[in-house]
Amino acid sequence: MIYRSLADINIYDSLYDSPTFDRLATQMAKGRYLQVIESEPNFLKIQLLEDDYEGLLDRQDLAKLELSDRQSFMDNLPPTLSEEEISDRLPQVITFVKSAMAVPNQYLWGGTVAPNYDCSGLMQAAFAAVGILIPRDAYQQEAFGEPISLDAVQLGDLIFFGTSAKATHVGIYIGDRAYIHSSGKEYGHNGISVSEISGLDPVSQWYNQQLRGGARITKGYKTRNH
């Protein structure tokens, strides 16, 4: 079954042995679509249709959904954009991120809804705000974008951090070797802030040790072809 959200909804990690709904996986913003994969007494295993992300929905949140269908979902996808059209929208993506930074916020693991985001949730929300769907997690966003060397990054490119095996963090490049990201409490800003590639402040230095490279968004993850 396919549903459309009537409100912002928390989606939780898929812990089948003992789901306690205390570890956020992601969030479902109002207007998004999901399909039910499995039904259990206290929860539903679901997949968010815009990014194919899976998690658990507390049955109590069914009241925040309305029954829908796949055609409605397809009709509400953003239109297909050319690479040039996407490039033209990148200043608006940066404006979204800067506006989010200007509002009091804290880092929230799994957060994709204002005011509190995690790193990749902020990127996903910013691109979605201008009609460009991208995957949910940092490593997925890195794989989805066109690889760009750090020497070639431009405004609106994504900068990735992590281990040699996997990207675990992402920010958006705003020029002058600076990027905006939502970082955590222990080694970050506990929210959205600016850091610098090769910067000397503690947060920049922490992430500089984990620099992987950049990626340019040149297409939408899912689009309407008419």
pLDDT for the residue 225: 74
Q: Which domain holds residue 68?
A: 2-75
Q: Are residues 116 and 206 in the same domain?
A: yes
Residue among 148, 151, 141 nearest 198 (CA): 151
Sign of the CA dihedral with 93 first, then 181, 160, and 125 last: negative
pLDDT for the residue 145: 98
Is 222 domain-assigned?
A: no
DSSP 8-state class, residue 210: T
Is the pLDDT confidence value at 41 over 80?
Answer: yes
Q: Max Cα separation, the chain?
A: 53
Is the pLDDT confidence value at 226 over 60?
Answer: no
**pLDDT tens profile 117-161:** 999 999 999 999 999 999 999 999 999 999 999 999 999 999 999
Is the pLDDT confidence value at 43 over 70?
Answer: yes
Compute CA distances 78 → 82, 107, 115, 139, 221, whole Å: 12, 28, 23, 23, 10
pLDDT for the residue 210: 97
**pLDDT tens profile 169-183:** 999 999 999 999 999
What CATH number is given to the structural domain containing 11?
Answer: 2.30.30.40
Is 225 domain-assigned?
A: no
Average pLDDT over residues 92-99: 98
